[in-house]
Every structure is written in C-alpha cells, then in structure tokens.
Amino acid sequence: MSTPIGVRAGGPGLAQVRNLVTELPGPKSRALASRMGAAVAPGLTHPTVPVFAARGGGGVIVDVDGNSLIDLASGIAVTTVGISHPDVVAAVQAQVAALTHTCFMVTPYESYVALAERLAAKHPAAASGEAVRAAFFNSGAEAVENAVKIARAATGRDAVVAFDHAFHGRTNLTMAMTAKAKPYKSGFGPFASEVYRLPGSYPYRDHLTGPEAAERWIKLVESQIGGANLAAAVLEPIQGEGGFIVPAPGFVPAVAAWCRANGVVFVADEIQSGIARTGDFFAIEHEGVVPDLITVAKGLAGGMPLSGVVGRAEVIDRVGAGGIGGTFGGNPAACAAALAVLDAVERDDLTGRARQLGEILHARLGAAAAGDPRLGEIRGRGAMVAVELVDAQTGQPDPALAKAVAGHAIGHGVITLTCGTYGNVLRFLPPLSISDELLTEGLDVIAAGLAATR
Ligand code: PLZ
C-alpha cells in the first residue's frame, strides 16, 4: 500500500489497510451503542451501524474491536489532513503545554495573529492588495452568525438572503438560514426574522444556465426583498448538506456582481468546501469571484474546534470593539493546529492532491454509472464529490437506495455519508492523506453495494 508522494499519512503506526476482524458492528461497539442509547440524547444524528472509533490516521479509522475501516467522510470534511496528523498532534501538544487558554480578548497570543495573517493572505481580495482581516470562533454556525452580524453592521440593513438547499447551522439564526425542515428546523421555531430564501442554481434539477438562474434570483431579490434592504447574501460555493450542488457556470459571478453593485455583502460559506477540499484553497476561487466575507471551520484545524470569518477590512472594520468575539474563540491549541494544517496544505500540495483524488472519484463512480441510470449525476470538485441516486424509471430521488448503499459500505468497513434535501445523495469527503489504493478499494465497495441493490 503506497502513501501518496509528499503526503504524510498521519496516525503513526496505523497500517493504511482495510482489515475486518469481527462483524460490523463488533461486540465492543455493540456494548458501547447500548450505553449510548441509555446516556446520550437521542436528538443527535446517530449512525445506523454505530462503529465506535478508537484510533485513526490517514485514510483509516480503527474501531474498538480492532477493525480497520476506510474513511471516506473525514468526520464531515474536518480531518482533511487526516485524523491525528503528526504535525497537528505535535503543534497541539506543544501549545497546550505552554498555554491552554488566556482568552484572546484578555491576554492575546501570537498563534491567533499568525493564523489571521495566513488566512488573510489566502482570501482572494489579498491578491489585489486589499487589506483583509480575520476573527475566530468555535463552530461553523458561530462563524455564519458573526458574518451576518458584520454584514448588518457594515450596511446598516437587516435582510439576509440564503438559498434553497442551504445548510448554515443549528443555532437560531442559522436554523432560519438552513433550508431543510426535517430534521433541522421542525419544532424549533420561532426563527430569527429578516431571513429570506430564494432558489439558486441546481442544474441537474432546474435545467437553467448560470445566467438564467442568476436572473431569476436577482428578479426575486428585487421584487420580494428589495436590494436596498439587503445586508448579505450567504452562499455555499458548493452546497454541502444540500447535496453537493455545483452551481451552473456563471451563476455565482452574476450574483456576486449584483451584490457588489447594490452594496450587499457577499458571504461565501466555505465551512464544508474550504481548506483545499475542492482542489483550490477556497471553492470560490474556481468562480473567479472575490467575496466580501468567507466563513471557515471544519477542515481548518485538523480536528480541533475552530471557525472564523475572513474578509475585506472595509467590511469587517465596521464592527466596533466588543461587538464580536467569545470566550473560547481562537483557542491557542486550535490556532496552533490550524497553522500546522496550513503548513501541511502548502508543503504537501494538498490542493493538487485533492484534484488527484477527484480524478479517481470521478473515474470510479463514472464506471459504476455506465449502464446504471440510477446514478443520476456525479458532481463535485476535487475531493468533494457526490452521486445523486434516482429511480431508474421516473428520475425521482431515491433516498432508500442511498441508505442501502451507505449501509452496505459500513457493513463492509467503508465509512461514507449521505446528504441532499431529498436524502438521495451519497457524498465522498476522503481525507487528502488517503492513498490511491485505499480510496479505490473503498469505491469498489460502493460499486459492489450498488450492484447488490440492483
Ligand atoms: N455551514 C456549509 O456544512 C456544517 C453539519 C451537519 P457547525 N455541516 C455539517 C450536521 O448535521 O450538523 C456546516 C456547513 C456549512 C455551516 C455549518 C455549521 O457548522 O460547525 O456544525 O456549526
């Protein structure tokens, strides 16, 4: 089993192979699942086959029974550099030994500042010499909340527009911005006001070109919200939970241009798509668009909780001292981890690696789709790829098939995720440290699962 050139697999001592020594879940996982059932809130999403993790690294998770599973989920795009990447582990260990916490707003420390500098340099606005600044928080939802606060303060306007199929989090404001009622919103209202939702671009289902979808969106904004009332448009450049929807070419640039012309803050929510995942550092780079604000989280700190807003100083500087922040935001250990992640991304060319993995994903899934009309569309960029599963006759979404294939996969030691408004999308977010062989083996299991359900 080879490790990709230049990529450190992480998880020292873990063989990068799938190796099943018990049925899945094994006896220890079953015992833990029963304790989980008694002690943990059932309102959390829980896997249909709960396999409890003990160790991990590279593309492998070793469970409590000693099974080695192939990781095609990265804990929802978090362990992009691999679980327990050695540089992340070393950086965190050194940082917690020196400083666990001071609160950046009480006694600042260098790692926070260094991370802000590094991320600012990666914001597309920095390329034209514009000043860019950053602020750090703990979760993705918190980053989105703060982006909206910044946009409202900067514009003096209230309205926020989000898109069909969007996911922005589970806090009150971000629930309002999230599209899907069940399980995310039903029973949890009332929601934050002045949040509007409009259709974006979903070429597989709306059959519109990018400019057509943008024209529809602009007309709706102008007639239903009013450009002068709109503080921010918040868009995932590739929608995550919503189904890995890649907008039609031209849609995002047209929306961004309209925002710029109308004084609306354009926010790219890169919480799932950012940090080298799509073959660029930010997915928005592919669109050639300079967003005002970018939200980051997930892959940023290699598994440590950290999120942030990175954006044009002209916008961010409009919030007065004390207006944003939080006790734990930008914790020293999380910032140290993120600096190690950025080093690994640059040193190991992880954007290039994401593109290589994307080629394997598209090739293997494309082969599975040949002669199988249930694979309606394979889409995504870099190592953020999904297949939308549909009924072969009607073309209607087939969530049962997605569930069956994901169930087959976990039963055979491959961890995947489903997503999509209709629950019919199988998504792949492998760690960028996975070997070609391990990814291919995982995708062979998916192909076998598809064949078994035919
Ligand atoms: N914005 C684009 O993808 C998190 C969580 C799924 P938090 N999505 C995965 C789930 O069931 O909770 C996400 C995202 C985008 C915001 C968020 C929210 O990030 O760190 O979960 O708050």
User: Which portions of the chain are predicted below pLDDT 70?
Assistant: 1-13
Closest C-alpha residue for ligand 1 atom 6: 241
Domain boundaries along the sequence of the chain: 27-81+350-452, 90-347
Q: Give CA 98 to chain center in angstroms.
A: 31
How far is the centre of ligand 1, averaged over its atoms, from the C-alpha of 163 (Å)?
Answer: 15
Evaluate whether 27-81+350-452 and 90-347 have a shared fold.
no
Classify domain 27-81+350-452 by CATH number. 3.90.1150.10
Beta bridge partners of 162: 197
Does the C-beta of 356 come closer than 6 Å to ligand 1?
A: no
Does the C-beta of 236 come closer than 6 Å to ligand 1?
A: yes
CA gap 378, 425 in Å, rounded? 10
CA gap 399, 126 in Å, rounded? 42
Does the C-beta of 163 come closer than 6 Å to ligand 1?
A: no
CA gap 13, 417 in Å, rounded? 27
Closest C-alpha residue for ligand 1 atom 12: 169
Predicted TM-score of the model (pTM): 0.97
Does the C-beta of 279 come closer than 6 Å to ligand 1?
A: no
How far is the centre of ligand 1, averaged over its atoms, from the C-alpha of 223 (Å)?
Answer: 30
Does the C-beta of 296 come closer than 6 Å to ligand 1?
A: no
Token pair, residue 11, equals: 């998880």
Specify the 3-state DSSP secondary structure of 149: helix
> For residues 427 and 402, is the Cβ–Cβ distance under 8 A?
no
Does the C-beta of 286 come closer than 6 Å to ligand 1?
A: no
Q: What is the phi/psi pair of residue 203, to 5°?
A: -55, -35
Specify the 3-state DSSP secondary structure of 233: strand
How far is the centre of ligand 1, averaged over its atoms, from the C-alpha of 370 (Å)?
Answer: 33
CATH architecture under which domain 90-347 falls: 3-Layer(aba) Sandwich (3.40)
Atom of ligand 1 nearest to the CA of 142: 22
How far is the centre of ligand 1, averaged over its atoms, from the C-alpha of 169 (Å)?
Answer: 5
CA gap 224, 183 in Å, rounded? 27
Q: Give me the pLDDT at residue 6, please.
A: 39
* Parallel, antiparallel or unpaired: strands 230-235 and 265-269: parallel
How far is the centre of ligand 1, averaged over its atoms, from the C-alpha of 290 (Å)?
Answer: 23
Q: Give me the pLDDT at residue 4, please.
A: 42
Atom of ligand 1 nearest to the CA of 184: 11
DSSP 286-350: GGT---SEEEE-GGGGTTS--EEEEEEHHHHTTSPTTSS--SSTT-HHHHHHHHHHHHHHHHTTH
Token pair, residue 18, equals: 């799938």
Q: Give me the pLDDT at residue 1, please.
A: 35
**Count of C-beta atoms within a 10 Å radius of residue 383:** 30
CA dihedral defined by 18, 416, 268, 118, rounded to 10 degrees?
-20
Closest C-alpha residue for ligand 1 atom 16: 168
